[in-house]
């Protein structure tokens, strides 16, 4: 993926040196399976199950404390910070152009870079729960250590895989600006039996929106050979069926909240190939 390191984006809030430490002492050390299980439970039940560990004295994070980072680790983390800053500016520049064609003005989101734990308007941001968008403060929260996890534990290496993650979260911001996020939340409250299905459709649309940016970035000559495959592997890595298989050993479609690996790849591809957000209607009865 071709990008240039410039100044840190004005929309990045780097709180890495202020965050962390709240959950670094005491508590159990969790294995990969346990961490993934807590992540899945948090997603399905819309509750921070990691906070339960905090009440018992905290948990060990896989992300090293700031004071224990080696010079090489700091350089690596700082390089990632500048990379996601560049991706953030690129995605938001693209949506600033696109949204007026849909009758809406784009309002930039903020990206918060933290370590281990930080407070958001949606509750505690945890490194173990992965990146997320909070509509309450219109910010994306990322612990950069997640990208190492994406490679080592999920097998989705590469800079475009990393870019896909952020582009997906900005896709959620676009949904808020278009009023989609609010409509979905209202429907989930009125029809709780359809809450999971609506969640899947919203996540797949964010994947498609990520693909819209990716396709346009590629059209500008921003991708190298193999980059698209990196993005596809990342989309597949976070499919509900794959995560359930990893955490509980079997697949339960009734518990899906984000879509299968195949669905996530398919909608990302649709956005990438068309470059048109109008093609991202995952809420049609015939979809997803």
Q: What token pair was written down for 120?
A: 């958001």
**Percent of the chain clearing pLDDT 90 (strictly above):** 56
**What angle in degrees, to the nearest 10, is found between the helix axes of 261-274 and 195-219?**
40
Label residue 205 by pLDDT band (50, 70, 90). very high
Is 27 exposed, middle or buried (CB count within 10 Å of its CB: 0-12, 13-18, 19+)? middle
Mean pLDDT of 30-59: 46
Residue 21 has pLDDT above 50, yes or no: no
Whole-angstrom Cα distance, residue 25 to residue 242? Answer: 32
Confidence of residue 59 (pLDDT cuts 50, 70, 90): very low
Q: Given the structure tokens 């909608």, which residue do they identify?
A: 267
pLDDT tens-digit profile of 206-261?
A: 999 999 999 999 999 999 999 999 999 888 888 888 888 877 888 888 888 899 99
Which tokens sit at 133? Answer: 């968008």
Residue pair 134/165 in contact by the 8 Å Cβ criterion: no
What's the pLDDT at 65? 47
Helices (H), the chain: 32-45, 50-54, 71-98, 145-152, 159-177, 180-190, 195-219, 227-237, 240-248, 261-274
pLDDT tens digit string along 258-276? Answer: 999 999 999 999 999 999 9
Instruction: Kindly report the number of other CB atoms within 10 A of residue 195's CB atom.
Output: 18
Counting beta carbons within 10 angstroms of the beta carbon of residue 97, is it exposed (0 to 12), middle (13 to 18) or buried (19 or more)?
exposed
pLDDT tens track for 119-130 = 999 998 888 778
Residue 1 CA to residue 90 CA, distance in Å, equals 13
What is residue 30's predicted lDDT score, i.e. its pLDDT? 44
Distance of alpha carbon 85 from alpha carbon 5, whole angstroms: 9
Q: What is the pLDDT of residue 42?
A: 58
* Residue 26 pLDDT level (bands cut at 50, 70, 90): very low
> Cα(207)–Cα(269) distance, rounded to whole angstroms?
9
Q: What is the pLDDT of residue 250?
A: 83
Report, as an integer, the average pLDDT of 61-85: 75
Predicted pLDDT of residue 140? 97
pLDDT at 40: 58
Spatial distance between the Cα atoms of 143 and 105, rounded to a whole number of angstroms:
29
Q: DSSP assignment of 8-53, as one string?
A: PPTTEEE-TTTS--TTSSSSPPP-HHHHHHHHHHHHHHTS-THHHH
Band (pLDDT 50/70/90 cuts) for residue 38 is low
Task: Enumerate residues 6+ apart whose C-beta is below 8 A from 266.
Answer: none
């Amino acid at each position: 993926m071709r990008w240039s390191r410039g100044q840190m984006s004005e929309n990045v809030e780097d709180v890495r040196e202020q965050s962390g430490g709240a959950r670094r002492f005491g508590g159990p050390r969790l294995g990969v399976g346990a961490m993934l299980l807590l992540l899945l439970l948090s997603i399905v039940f819309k509750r921070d199950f990691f906070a339960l560990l905090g009440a018992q004295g905290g948990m060990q994070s896989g992300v090293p404390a700031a004071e224990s980072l080696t010079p090489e680790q700091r350089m690596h983390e700082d390089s990632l910070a500048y990379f996601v800053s560049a991706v953030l500016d690129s995605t938001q520049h693209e949506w600033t152009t696109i949204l007026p064609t849909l009758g809406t003005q784009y309002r930039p989101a903020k990206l918060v870079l933290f370590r281990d734990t930080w407070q958001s308007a949606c509750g505690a941001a945890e490194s173990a729960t992965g990146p997320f968008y909070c509509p309450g403060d219109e910010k994306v929260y990322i612990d950069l250590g997640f990208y190492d996890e994406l490679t080592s534990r999920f097998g989705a290496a590469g800079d475009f895989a990393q870019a896909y993650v952020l582009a997906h979260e900005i896709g959620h911001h676009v949904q808020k600006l278009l009023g989609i996020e609010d409509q979905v939340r209202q429907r989930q409250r009125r029809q709780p039996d359809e809450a999971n299905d609506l969640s899947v459709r919203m996540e797949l649309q964010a994947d498609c929106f990520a693909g819209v940016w990716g396709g346009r970035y590629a059209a500008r000559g921003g991708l190298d050979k193999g980059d698209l495959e990196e993005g596809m592997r990342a989309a597949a890595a976070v499919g509900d069926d794959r995560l359930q298989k990893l955490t509980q050993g079997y697949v339960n479609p009734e518990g899906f909240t984000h879509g299968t690996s195949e669905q996530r790849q398919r909608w990302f591809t649709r956005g990438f190939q068309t470059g048109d957000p109008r093609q991202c209607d995952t809420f049609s009865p015939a979809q997803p």
